[in-house]
Amino acid sequence: MASIRERTTKAGQRTWTVLYRHGGKQTSRTFLDAKSAERFRTLVDILGPDRAWEEIAGDGPDDRLTVDQLAESFLEWKARDVTERTMVDYRRDYANWIKPHFGHRAAELVDEADVQKWVDHMAQSLAPKSVADRHMLLHQMYAFGKAKSRRLVTHNPCLETDLPKRTKKPPKGTTIAEWRALLDAAEKRNPDAGDLILFMGSLGWRWSEAAALAVRDVEDDGDSVHVNVSRVFRVDASYRQVLAEDEAKSYAAFRRARVPAEAAAMIRRRVVGKAPSDLVFTNSRGRPWNQNTFLRDTWPALVRDAGLTDRKPTPHWLRHMSVAAMAATGASLAEIQRTIGHESIQTTINIYGGMIGGLSSDALANLDAILAGRRAVVPGEVVEVLALED
């Protein structure tokens, strides 16, 4: 890693010296301004000393499209399809992680080796997922520029990058007993929070979906209760929580689900006397739940009262618990996918495959019979089991 040392000469002139290793030896270059020194230091870390000096020596007028200009065109185009908050995140990541390394360079001259060195540099301080997210932003910029309808660049240098490997961890969920302990703690400390926790654990809804449930999205025919996702809580560009009408994480997230009996009785109690546009779940003051406040104050107190501080569960663990409970009932992957609102069944498998048990009792009994020679599967049939004589 290169470093900068600021010096003042005997004549009183300030200089900035970049210290780095080249060919196994300590080497330095001195600059008369901090900006040039910082730029050279960054280039040394990303490109190596020789390429860095070529970049510095080649400074001058250049009418080729820069990465900064490519980014601005891409972000202006992307703003049509994503939220204002997402654009703030994109611009922040570009300014902090891409611009310092590539922004000034001609976009056409950035090659695969440059991108790999940049990724390796980020991997020293960022988690693999964070590196992948920033690499994807650069990849999207070049894919946008390379499109035949634009032809801003002729290649995408992000296609052959070796990204740091991510270790996939199994999802964590509370047990049913732990969930009931949280409900018992909420009954004593904060019943309104308990109602929200009961609902989330019963249906596997995300916090942003459950807290935004409106009375108009509750269907009660006297026999059963169904609920619909039609809006969610979002965080806007100013990092304020707002209700987003007709929005969800994906199209599949707009879903209708039947509510289990205990949660259905709770919902019937909460909607009495409320207008269709009112929220079903509110705090003790009748105000909408704020996620930051819930996570900072409400949830930790319930975790402590429930004796779960060593486990450190989060509200999202209730979603995982709900999936495991559904699987235990024998629900199919397709049923679970639709209930929790995944766009693709592959997402359900990738995230929750390890939590979903193996064969049902009936299927296991049939397997035992086949392995014991009491039943046989006829070749060529999709599913046909013939009983054999013992």
Residues 6+ apart with CB under 8 A from 229: 205, 209, 217, 248, 253, 254, 255, 256, 341
Q: With respect to residue 357, please indicate whether it lies within any of the assigned structural domains.
A: no
Q: Is the pLDDT of residue 147 over 70?
A: yes
Section 209-213 average pLDDT: 94
Q: Is the pLDDT of residue 49 over 90?
A: no
Q: With respect to residue 104, please indicate whether it lies within any of the assigned structural domains.
A: yes
pLDDT in tens, 3-13: 999 888 776 77
pLDDT at 357 (0 to 100): 56
Query: Are 219 and 102 contained in the same domain?
Result: no
Query: Are 78 and 186 contained in the same domain?
Result: no
How does residue 230 score in pLDDT terms, banded at 50, 70 and 90? confident
Select, from the ranges 24-33, 55-64, 77-86, 113-122, the one with the highest average predicted confidence (pLDDT).
113-122
pLDDT in tens, 73-111: 999 999 988 778 788 889 999 999 999 999 999 898 899
Query: Are 249 and 100 contained in the same domain?
Result: no
Query: In whole angstroms, what is the distance from residue 364 CA to residue 358 CA?
Result: 9
DSSP reduced 3-state for 384: coil
Q: With respect to residue 206, please indicate whether it lies within any of the assigned structural domains.
A: yes
Q: Which of 64-68, 210-214, 367-371 has the lowest mean pLDDT?
A: 367-371
Q: With respect to residue 151, please indicate whether it lies within any of the assigned structural domains.
A: no
pLDDT at 172 (0 to 100): 82
Q: Is the pLDDT of residue 141 over 70?
A: yes
Per the structure, the count of domains in the chain is 3
- CATH number of the domain that residue 121 is part of: 1.10.150
Look-up: residue for tokens 């960054």?
Answer: 42
* Packing angle of the helix pair 191-203, 317-328 (nearest 10 deg): 50
pLDDT at 381 (0 to 100): 41
Section 57-64 average pLDDT: 59
Query: Are 104 and 223 contained in the same domain?
Result: no
Q: How far, in Å, are 85, 332, 355 from residue 232 at the CA level?
A: 15, 27, 27
pLDDT in tens, 284-329: 999 999 999 999 999 999 999 999 999 999 999 998 888 888 877 7
Buried (b) or exposed (e) across 272-296, using 16+ Cβ within 10 A?
eeeeeeebbbbbeeeeebbbeebee
Q: With respect to residue 130, please indicate whether it lies within any of the assigned structural domains.
A: yes
pLDDT in tens, 334-377: 888 888 777 677 767 666 666 555 555 665 566 566 556 665 54
When the pLDDT of each residue in the chain is averaged and rounded to a whole number, the result is 84
Distance of CA 199 to the CA centre of its chain: 23
Token representation of residue 277: 């546009």
**Percentage of residues in the chain with pLDDT exceeding 70?**
83
Select, from the ranges 20-24, 187-191, 343-347, the one with the highest average predicted confidence (pLDDT).
187-191
Section 205-217 average pLDDT: 93
DSSP E strands, the chain: 3-8, 14-22, 25-31, 218-220, 225-228, 231-235, 241-245, 256-258, 375-377, 385-387
Nearest partner of 118 among 97, 143, 142, judged by Cα? 97
Query: Are 197 and 346 contained in the same domain?
Result: yes
How does residue 211 score in pLDDT terms, banded at 50, 70 and 90? very high
How does residue 154 score in pLDDT terms, banded at 50, 70 and 90? confident
Phi/psi of residue 245, nearest 5 degrees: -75, 145
Section 206-212 average pLDDT: 93
Q: Is the pLDDT of residue 148 over 90?
A: no
How does residue 378 score in pLDDT terms, banded at 50, 70 and 90? very low
- CATH number of the domain that residue 295 is part of: 1.10.443.10
pLDDT at 385 (0 to 100): 38
More confident residue, 255 or 118: 118
More confident residue, 43 or 377: 43
DSSP E strands, 126-237: 218-220, 225-228, 231-235
Q: What is the dihedral of CA 233, 238, 240, 244, to 10 degrees?
A: -20
Query: Are 21 and 105 contained in the same domain?
Result: no
Query: Are 238 and 284 contained in the same domain?
Result: yes
Distance of CA 195 to the CA centre of its chain: 26
Q: With respect to residue 159, please indicate whether it lies within any of the assigned structural domains.
A: no
How does residue 379 score in pLDDT terms, banded at 50, 70 and 90? very low
pLDDT in tens, 233-279: 887 767 788 888 765 444 446 788 889 999 999 999 999 999 999 99
CB atoms within 10 A of CB 271: 19
Query: Are 282 and 342 contained in the same domain?
Result: yes
Range of the domain at 222: 176-352
Which of 146, 162, 197 lies at the terminal end of a domain, its last residue? Answer: 146
Query: Are 252 and 337 contained in the same domain?
Result: yes
Q: Is the pLDDT of residue 59 over 80?
A: no
Q: Which of 188-202, 224-238, 328-342 has the lowest mean pLDDT?
A: 328-342
